[in-house]
Amino acid sequence: MMEEVSEKITRLDFKVGIIGLGYVGLPLAREFLKAGFDVLGFDIDPEKVKKINRGVNYLYHMDGNFIKKFVDRGKLEATYNFSRLKEVDGIVICVPTPLGKHYEPDLTYVLNTSETIASNLREGHVVILESTTYPGTTEEEVLPILESSGLKVGKDFCLGYSPEREDPGNPRFTTSKIPKVVSGVTKTCLEVIDRLYSKVVIKTVPVSTPRVAEATKLLENIYRAVNIALVNELKVVFEKMGIDIWEVIEAAKTKPFGYHPFYPGPGLGGHCIPIDPFYLTWKAKEYSVHTKFIELSGETNEKMPDYVVERISIALNSRKKAIRGSRILIIGMAYKPDVGDLRESPSLRIFQRLTDLGAEVEYYDPYIPEVTEGRKYSLWKKSVELTPEVVSQFDLVAIITNHSSIDYSMIYRHSRLIVDTRNVYRIKQLQKGKIWKA
């Protein structure tokens, strides 16, 4: 059976089903389509399904024409009818893995999706989990659900884990240009999954077990979280000493060995770095291990939005103003430049905190025209226009997300006061009490 599956992959006679058409699933669909596979996308959001079937792209950082091109060719379709899973040969799971109220893993989407797959599982199916999770999820959680169908892994169907490595908005490293870690529950599963991904990415990196692949993803993001926490802490320390952390980093990165630059900011955002480390801290408790280093890094990064608010308060005080009653304009609500992704964005917490303290807060973001109800915040705001007249009306402008399309020189000319969390204004001569770093 699995030899036939491998041959179908080689011939590109293998239909790929992708569950979850967001920042991971849709770019992955594009690469399978470019490689010559047919793709059937699944999502519980009927608006996403309708847009794809109309050829509309809803991810700003991606090529806007690719969806229409493949829909018109009959190569791409989307649906919210999950009984159609029987039509596809491969099933890739790209659903969210958020945290619960007490920072415990919430596998609701993964488990519900697995149950749906199990009820539609057939011989020859290849199932791959890409959602970030703790080591053991694929074999301890997903596998028993799939085998409840009566089919056996490695004989009747394949199962493996391949962590997503998306970096939305990064033109240098699109999905196909990033090496892909792959794993399988059995040797046969690994061979089949490796063959499939070899068709769409520059290089595959096979590992011995799904647990290794799951741990790899966590290591990648914990590495970033810890190092960002370090420079965020140093930012606060150096500010007290009158030292510019950005100048220190620029000098340090001239060392050609033993150092890699990380940059401070207003806090962590996105679905990976603020969340993934806590998946490991939770799982580690099962082995009576307390991950102090990871948890301390998380605490440090979580404090950064409050530090930004403190710096805003100090900047306003320098002009004999309080936060209460001040008009503040936030530049950038997305969690990173040049994407329209609000998930875990520190801008949300900064906005809410300033509002709670009595400020009149507005925002501008070219990628996010409106902010509505989210997982933690319900702001219900629309982006203002960014014009000299609008900027001049605010007591302070806070640069939180440094989108490349924004005219920062215009903001400088027409603003009264600026708090810069991204080192947009690098020239010291510009500051003179008008620009405050945070």
Annotated catalytic residue 272: yes
- CA dist 337 and 263 (Å) reads 14
Place of tokens 């080192």: 423
- CA dist 69 and 138 (Å) reads 35
* Whole-number Cα distances in Å, 112 to 28, 137, 145, 239: 21, 13, 10, 48
Residue 48 half-sphere exposure toward CB, CA atoms < 13 A: 16
The three-class DSSP label of residue 29 is helix
Bridge partners for 160 per DSSP: 128
Whether residue 221 contacts residue 272, with contact meaning beta carbons closer than 8 Å, is answered with: yes
Q: CA torsion sign, 408 to 412 to 413 to 414?
A: positive
- The catalytic position among 94, 158, 189, 272 is 272
Residue 97 DSSP one-character state = -
Beta strand spans in 155-252 (E)? 158-161, 180-182, 204-206
> Which amino acid makes up residue 34?
K
Categorise residue 370: left if φ over 0, alpha if ψ from -120 to 50, beta otherwise. Answer: beta
Active-site positions read 272
